[in-house]
Amino acid sequence: MRSHWGEERGSVTAEFAAVIPAVMLVLALCLGGVQVAGQQIRLADAAADAARSLARGDGEGRSTARARQAVPNAALRVEHRGEFICARVSAPAPAPFGLLTVEATGCALAGGL
């Protein structure tokens, strides 16, 4: 006796096998996005700390070291905007977005405590 399902036997397995890589790719991109968001938050904190440190008169080298403590491979650029001193901290994004650069800026009143 022949079943009408006999011709489609195994098609669900084939469709499932075709969908799994796409689901894994979407999941990896979502997890990478969460990592980038977390790094953005760490960079914002590091920029604020560096700006306050620079406003108190600490050296740029010390502020860069503090930023790198929070985020490895971080780079610090100091900008003066009127009576404010700003610290722009940037670092490469974590994998799989390693070609992107994430950055944050924090400002503090120069000479403030």
Residue 29 lies in a domain: yes
Higher pLDDT, residue 86 or 111: 86
In a domain? residue 32: yes
* Angle at 52 (CA atoms; ends 50, 55), nearest 5 degrees: 105
Residue 4 in any domain: the answer is no
Q: Is residue 2 in some structural domain?
A: no
Main-chain phi, psi angles of 101, to 5 degrees? -115, 130
- Residue 20 scores a pLDDT above 60: yes
Mean pLDDT of the chain: 85
Instruction: Tell me if 77 is assigned to some domain.
Output: yes
Q: Is residue 18 part of a domain?
A: yes
| Confidence (pLDDT) at 13 | 79
Distance CA 17, CA 24 (A): 11
User: Does residue 5 belong to any structural domain of this protein?
Assistant: no
Question: Which pLDDT does position 9 carry in this prediction?
Answer: 67
100 part of a folded domain: yes
CA distance 30 to 35: 9
Domain that holds residue 46: 10-109
Domains: count for the chain = 1
